[in-house]
Amino acid sequence: MKIPTITLIIVILNTYNIFGQSNRKDSLKAIELSEIVVTATRTERQLGSLTTPLTLIKKQQIQTLGALRLTEVLQEQTGLAIINDHGQGIQMQGFDPDYTLILIDGEPLVGRTAGTLELSRIAVNNIKQIEVVKGPSSSLYGSEALAGVINIITDDPDRTEGGLNVQYGANQTLNVNGQVSFKHKKLGVYLFADRYSSQGYDLNPETYGATVEPFFNHTFQSKIKYQFNSNLKLTLSGRLFQETQEQRSDIGNTTPLIVSGEGTQTDGNFLMTLDQKLGKNLKMQYRLYHTIYDTESGLRYENDQQIFDQSFFKQRFTRPEVVANYFLNDQHFLTLGVGGTLESVRATRYEGERRFNTQYIFGQYEWTPAKNLTVLGGARLDMHSVYGQQLSPKFSTRYQLVPWLALRGSVGVGFKAPDFRQLYLNFTNTTVGYTVFGTEEVVAGVERFTQAGEILNIFTDPANFTTLNPERSVAYNFGVDMQWKNGLKAEVNLFRNDIENLIETQIVARKTNNQSIFSYLNLREVFTQGAEVNVTYQLFKNLQIKGGYQYLIAKDKTVVDQLNRGEIFKRDPQTLITTRVTNSEYGGLFNRSRHMANIRLFYTYKSITASLRTIYRGRYGLGDLNGNQILDADNEYVAGYWLWNTSVAKEFGQVLRLQVGVDNLLDFRNETMIPGIAGRLWYVRAGFNFARK
Amino acid sequence: MYKSRLFLLLGLVMAFTACKKEDSDAVTPALEALTFTNLAAPGDVIDRTTGQVTQTNPFIYFSFEKGTTVSASENWDIGFKGTTLIFNSGVSGSGQGGAVIKTGTFDELTEAPESTEFRQDTNSEFAVPTGSDNGWYNYSGPPTFLITPIAGRIIMVKTFDGKYAKVEVLSYYKDAPTQPNALSDQSATYTFRYMYQADGSRTLK
């Protein structure tokens, strides 16, 4: 019988980690040791053996949460905060949502609005597991993997079964999804369909329009696997998401002037993977990926049905890639990859079709010089058609000091390429009259305005804007993993990220209408640093307790320098007296909580599972109120809050599962500051499962 | 022990010199910092859909010497309209005025800069530049749409007849509310603190 190379590695790595397995009574620990993850190294690895921090969320946990969309799952994880900025995205290690790469089965999702990829686009009932890697992974994944990577691994057709889930809850939220999985000899087929609809909600009924307008969406996913022989396997998978949402607003100055319409978004991806084993030591993978993201929106005046605004956005992304995994012997493991990316965008706000392409190579070498030591080094070179070359190295190591304690450390570089918006935007706001140009457009754009005699004065020579560099970070992570025989497990990770070349808008010129022309420049330098702690403990046989905490400091280095020079002031809103801001008053970047925590209880008794989870988000800055653009006064913060969620489920044999739950049990609301929190939400759910034994 | 004695000595020396300075300044009485409230100077009305100006509003002029608003035909020092400030010289007026922005608190900036440092309004740029973060204010944009005077930006002014004053804009909304609301509070209604030196010197304290 042939043992696949990758299994061999896992077996070998297993032997390094069996220290905990001497205590066989602890079944939980045994399970966790056998967890296989792929995102940290792009090869299958045991969770316990990684050199970088990784959070694994399994299907069963997603079910326990009663979650329907990815946001609901991620918001309960330590160190992750949901940020509302042109959509719901995730903040990781203090980075904005722009800096976390979102993958489905290892390939990137595209379609970001102002940097945020709307995570509620992603249904969760077809997810096998979610892997969250913290710290930069640009050495493997290239652009956007600056704060980290979230990889969504979808279900595999590894047996014949079918299922149907129906969930109904507050705000007339209805979700129906079903999946069929078929496995016969060499062929596996998986089909998934999901419909999600909601009436939305309105936290401020006195203003026109709802906080979340009614919407419905569909997700379809399919996967076909064919094992030609033990050395060759083909996988085809496709996913389609489509959402329609009502839009309406009152644009009248004094008397109501209603515009309304519909917005649709479509997000689709297709992946073909061919896995090939060449001999005992070499495994090849050939991948071809294509994804699209389209939005369309049309608003008309309700009184005369004239068009108020019509816009579209079409993004395309294609990537062929070849990856080779070479297994030299017990101690040496090599991964090499080469690929290319072709991206294009057409949109209302862009002149014609804009394209750019990237070619890249990456390599990773894993060395296990001793049973208790793993050393990993890697680098990736991206060659981009617009901004040039980018080299992202990373080095990490793990050392098992004593059976119950291991040390982890890594140093790595992450980067985020300038996006289409920053390079090619050509947008004039018709209501206010300002203009924004991407850096590749600004010279020609300002020239056009000059020709037309619409420029009053130029503040910055447009020629200064032509070279936009990728945003870049150097990150350090140091961690300790502890695991005691009594079932107590603790992970600590300290992190520091130094980010340079942050891209920001900068004023170029003033137009004759007194409005400005903006473009983008690499300007600021910031840092984020902090500590994350995760603890898991099997309190009783039936009760598991999990806790997590993140401490975070994130500051603008330029602001710190200005504070040191005494150049930043604040005005007391009562007395109107201006004083200097001291360094200790500076609260750092807006929207970051210094403290975030969670405590989660999971109870299992026979066929009943129950959970009670609480998530704390400490106070965070919302916006400046005392005239200095930085966070330094108490009234500039949103108060911290706790959310309590609970659920109970009972299984009836293998066939039926019933669940009831309440999210935001205490009905916490902050209508003006946090419109993304809807208030108390109850739900009931029935799941049917038909498996062939 | 030795160190603390040294500090004591230093302290005594400083106290002595400080006293001395006060004595010599005693001849000129300290200038008064005055606050002018609710100078309403609405900007032009612009149609939100077309971007065209539908109603032109006049500048509202202020004289430091008189401490009140004055008409355009009188000797004015500073003019307000929307977020735009003009000064009596260059393209804005026939006086010897000008302005320059300095960073610091109102109290610590006790001397006007050299006459040559002052800027005049020109066709291409105002002495106090317009636009968010360029001059005296910041515009927050959505969702609050607030105009906030930047703390620590003091406008040094040369008056129509070449004398000096300093101005700190305190609020852009009527009655300087502690938590202004751009959608409900009356905007373009200035509250500012100023100090005027009538003797022609650059001293502003």
Q: Are A361 and A324 in contact (CB under 8 A)?
A: no
Instruction: Assess A516–B contact: CB distance below 8 Å, yes or no.
Output: yes
Report pLDDT digits (tens) over A51-73.
999 999 999 999 999 999 999 99
User: Does A625 sit within 8 Å of B150, measured CB to CB?
Assistant: no
B152 chain-A contacts, CB cut-off 8 A: 567-569, 578, 580, 628
User: For residue B147, what is the nearest residue in chain A, using CA coordinates?
Assistant: A627
Among A349, A334, A385, A418, smallest CA distance to A98 is for A418
pLDDT of residue A113: 84
Amino acid at A519: S
Least confident segment among A200-214, B17-31, B104-118: B17-31
Torsion of CA A564, A565, A571, A576, to 10 degrees: 130
pLDDT of residue B159: 95
Average pLDDT, chain B: 84
Please state whether beta strands A258-278 and A353-370 pair in parallel, antiparallel, or not at all (unpaired).
Answer: unpaired
Report pLDDT digits (tens) over B117-134.
999 998 878 899 887 788
Query: How many A-B residue pairs are in contact by the CB < 8 A criterion?
Result: 73
Report, as an integer, the average pLDDT of B179-194. 92
Please state whether beta strands A161-169 and A681-691 pair in parallel, antiparallel, or not at all (unpaired).
Answer: antiparallel
Say how far apart CA A601 and CA A55 lie, in whole Å. 18
Instruction: Assess B191–A contact: CB distance below 8 Å, yes or no.
Output: yes
pLDDT of residue A210: 85
Instruction: Assess A60–B contact: CB distance below 8 Å, yes or no.
Output: no
User: Does B149 sit within 8 Å of A571, measured CB to CB?
Assistant: yes
A510 chain-B contacts, CB cut-off 8 A: 130-131
Report pLDDT digits (tens) over A217-263.
999 999 999 999 999 999 999 999 999 998 888 877 677 888 889 99
Contact partners, residue B114, CB within 8 Å, separation at least 6: B202
Q: Are A365 and A334 in contact (CB under 8 A)?
A: yes
Q: Which residue has the higher pLDDT, B179 or B144?
A: B179
Pick among A455, A514, A518 to test the B interface (most B CBs inside 10 A): A514
Q: Are A656 and A132 in contact (CB under 8 A)?
A: no
User: Does B191 sit within 8 Å of A576, measured CB to CB?
Assistant: yes
Q: Are A47 and A30 in contact (CB under 8 A)?
A: no
pLDDT of residue B3: 43
Length of chain A: 693
Say how far apart CA B97 and CA B115 lie, in whole Å. 10
Instruction: Assess A208–B contact: CB distance below 8 Å, yes or no.
Output: no
pLDDT of residue A431: 64
A433 chain-B contacts, CB cut-off 8 A: 46, 51
Residues of chain A with pLDDT under 50: 1-33
Q: Burial of A18 by CB count in 10 Å (0-12 exposed, 13-18 middle, 19+ buried)?
A: exposed
pLDDT of residue B61: 97
pLDDT of residue A3: 40
pLDDT of residue A62: 94
pLDDT of residue A107: 96
Q: Which of residues 152-171 of B touch A (CB under 8 A)?
A: 152, 168, 170-171
Q: Which residue has the higher pLDDT, B143 or A84?
A: A84
Q: Which residue has the higher pLDDT, A260 or B3?
A: A260
- Which of A456, A510, A574 has the CB atom closest to B178's CB atom? A574
User: Does A251 sit within 8 Å of B48, measured CB to CB?
Assistant: yes
- How distant is the Cα of B112 from the closest Cα of chain A, in angstroms? 19
- Which pTM value belongs to this model? 0.85
pLDDT of residue B5: 47
User: Does B105 sit within 8 Å of A576, measured CB to CB?
Assistant: no
Instruction: Assess B57–A contact: CB distance below 8 Å, yes or no.
Output: no
Please list the residues that pair with A518 across neighbouring strands: A436, A507
- Which of B152, B179, B191 has the CB atom closest to A578's CB atom? B152
Task: Tell me whether 0.85 is exceeded by the ipTM.
Answer: no
For chain B, the domains span 27-197
SS3 per residue for B78-135: EEEECCEEEECCCCCCCCCCEEEEEECCCCCCCECCCHHHCECCCCCCCCCCCCCCCC
Least confident segment among A400-404, B59-63, B177-181: B177-181
- Our measurement of the distance from residue B64's CA atom to the centroid of its chain's CA atoms, rounded to an integer in Å, reads 11
Contact partners, residue B5, CB within 8 Å, separation at least 6: none
User: Does A514 sit within 8 Å of B103, measured CB to CB?
Assistant: no
User: Does A569 sit within 8 Å of B51, measured CB to CB?
Assistant: no
User: Does B51 sit within 8 Å of A433, measured CB to CB?
Assistant: yes
- Give the position of tokens 């690929």: A339
pLDDT confidence bin for B28, thresholds 50/70/90: low
